[in-house]
Amino acid sequence: MKATDVVMTPIHKEGHIFVAIFFVVSILLFYVWEPAAWVGLIVSVWCIYFFRDPDRIIPDEKGVLVSPADGTVCAVSEAPAPAELGMGSDPRTRITIFLSVFNVHVNRVPAAGEITATTYVPGKFLNAAADNASEENERQLIRMQTEDGHDIAFAQIAGLVARRILCDVKKGDTVARGDRFGLIRFGSRTDIYLDKGQHATVKVGQTMIGGETIIARNR
C-alpha cells in the first residue's frame, strides 16, 4: 500500500460512514486500551484504501470492451448467460475476475450503450472464486446492448466477506464505456458474458484495471 494511494485518491461516498466510524472508535479506544486504538487506526487507514475511487484513462478504441473491475482473471470459460436475464441457453465466453480486499471495488461499465435489464438475485456467500458462485451467491445481473449492436451481460457477485452489492444503473439508462456503475463490499467477483462476434483478449492470472484494461474485442 502506497501512502499516496491513501492520501491523494478520492474515496467512494459509500466509504465515508465506515471511515468515520472506525476513526471515532479508534479515538475512544485511546481512553480504554491504547494498543487496541492503534489497531483501530490501522483498520481505518485500510478502510480508506479499500474505498478508494481513482480516475481511470478509458480507451477510445472502437469495438473493444474494458474490464468492469480491478482484480485477477481466475477463469475464461464457456457458460450460458444468467437465466434471469432471458438471453437464451447458448454458451458464451465468460470472463471471471476475482477481487481481493486490496483491489479497488468500484465497478465500471465495459462498453457504451443502453442498459436493457437489471436483476438482483439473493443467495449465499461462498468463496467468490468458486465455480458455483455464479449460480449460488448473492448477485446483481446487468444486461446491455452496446452501441455497436452486441448483447452482453455482466454480474456483480458477493463473496465470503462481501455483504452488500450497490448498483447505480437501471433499465433504459444510456451509459458510456468506463462509467462507474456500482460497488461491492468487501471481497467479490465480477463476471462478463460476451456476445457472438467478440473474443476475449485476456488470460487466467492476468491483472485487470477496471475501466482501462481491454478485456475483449469484436472479431
Residues classed as catalytic: 188
SS3 of the chain = CCHHHHHCCCECHHHHHHHHHHHHHHHHHCCCCHHHHHHHHHHHHHHHHHCECCCCCCCCCCCEEECCCCEEEEEEEEEECCHHHCCCCCEEEEEEEEECCCCCCEEECCCCEEEEEEEEECCECCCCCCCCHHHHECEEEEEEEECCCCEEEEEEEECCCCCEEEECCCCCCEECCCCEEEEEECCEEEEEECCCCEEECCCCCCEECCCCCEEEEEC
